Amino acid sequence: MRDQRDQRLGTASRAAADAAETALWRLVSQIGSPEEALDQACAADPAWAWPPLMRAGQRLLQADGRLDDSTRAALVAASRGIDAAPPREQRHLAALQALAEGRCAAACQVWDDLLLDHPHDALALLWAQAWDLRRGELPPLQTRPAEVLPEWSPEDPLHPHLLGLYAFGLQENQRDAQAEEVARRALAREPQVPRAVLAVAHVMESQGRFDDGTAWLRQHQAGWADDSALAAHLWWHMGLFRLEALDLSGVHRLIDAHLSGTALVGDADHRDAVALLWRLHLLGEDVGARLVQLLAAWPADEGEAGLCAFHDLHVLLCLLGADELVRAERWVARVAARAMQAEDARRSNHAVTREVALPVMRALLSMARGDAGAACSALRASRPHWPRLGGSRLQRDLLELTLIAAAARAPQPALHRALLNARRLARAASPLLRHLEAH
């Protein structure tokens, strides 16, 4: 049996194939949960490896590659049926097994090779994009979608969402005008493309168009706020726009309504909440109690310290913002201990942690201890390498704002002025920028 893109499937069940297609659409569009459709596909053909593979890949992504019992079970279920699966599905399992071992670069290479033979494999494209973003590999975010999109029919239901992926990759590579054009084209075809909304939000924030950004998110809110996996992240972007306008009370209200409590579903949502609260903390806002509450709902598992640099950094920020300096020092020590283990060297995160994340985290500890000068020196030295931490340009801007705050506290007025000069040239003037210049 073949799917609607003429790709061979490892099932003879039409019901299983249809359910898997529904799950694929939900994964690529990030609208709704794929779980019910995956359950239906597994029930219709329990021997088919593909639905458990889809589930395992999604859970690995949500957990930044950390393995839990349900992910292990999905990988085992996929492995049981893999010998009878088509080569394309077998290659996906090889990629996920590499991820489970922490070898993200190897997984992305499997998917890139797979896309040469199967340019219609939307999941290979989606997952390779997601993992390259997590490891700070920016050029493929632009080139990979460009290499396969001409092979796709514009009538395919997934096509607008792949345009959204392409738009996001363009803006991460600072091709903002083209990114906005591609994203608007996707939304003209299909009004509910959360990733296209996200791409334009990134463009507007990076250019300082905070009023345009607020209006943009409100204009498209019906398409992302209720049933999208990107909902919390887009509320975070709304918070960034209000922060740029220096509407601090508005940011607090937004956090209460959309970035706290049960609104936070997974690690990515919690990291967004930490990142916005840290920005408020840098401005002198009292957010300690909020971060204490966040820690209670999102405890730092020291057994997982050192597995993902981007995650480790946000846990540290949460601990420092909650005034848990001793726990923060212990967290950094656990990250360092894992980085010293010989068996950790094969993991993609290993070199990033040793060469970038640990210097950044130690700089943050220096700042928390009151040594802003040492923090400035360490942050400046690591600054060219921040993209390796993963995340988007805007997510990493948190470190730029931290360096600006450290320069103000040191005080190092020449550095402070230079950092703000660069910021002023990169984006339009805003109340936040004027506030930073005055303080």
**Considering all CA atoms of the chain, what is the largest pairwise distance in Å, rounded to the nearest integer?**
69
Question: What is the predicted pLDDT for the residue at 399?
Answer: 99
- H or E, element range at 29: helix 14-29
Residue 397 structure tokens: 């801007």
**Cα–Cα distance, 399 to 167 (Å, whole number):** 24
- pLDDT score, position 353: 97
On whether the CB atoms of residues 23 and 104 are closer than 8 A, the answer is no
Report the alpha-carbon distance of residue 258 to residue 5 in Å, rounded.
38
Q: Residues 6 or more apart from 255 whose CB is under 8 A from it?
A: 239, 273, 276, 277, 290
pLDDT-derived band at 55 (thresholds 50, 70, 90) equals very high
Alpha helices in 190-261 (DSSP H): 194-206, 210-219, 231-244, 248-258
DSSP code at position 103: -
Identity at 222, one-letter amino acid code: A
pLDDT tens-digit series, residues 201-219: 999 999 999 999 999 999 9
| The pair of three-digit structure tokens given for residue 379, joined into one six-digit string | 């942050």
Of the listed ranges 21-35, 70-84, 123-137, 382-396, the one predicted with least confidence: 70-84
pLDDT for position 428: 79
C-alpha angle 275-349-90 in degrees, rounded to nearest 5:
110
Secondary structure of residue 101 in the 3-state scheme: coil
H or E element in which residue 387 lies: none
Distance of CA 279 to the CA centre of its chain: 18
Sign of CA dihedral 95, 64, 128, 379: negative
Two tokens at 88? 């394309």
CA distance 218 to 99: 37
Q: DSSP class of residue 297?
A: H
Average pLDDT over the chain, rounded to an integer: 96
Per-residue pLDDT tens digits for 15-28: 999 999 999 999 99
Give the integer Cα–Cα distance in Å for 302 and 102. Answer: 18
Query: Both ends of the chain: CA-CA distance in Å?
Result: 65
Give 338's pLDDT tier (boundaries 50, 70, 90). very high
Domain ranges, ordered by start, for the chain: 1-132, 138-229
Does the pTM surpass 0.85? The reply is: yes
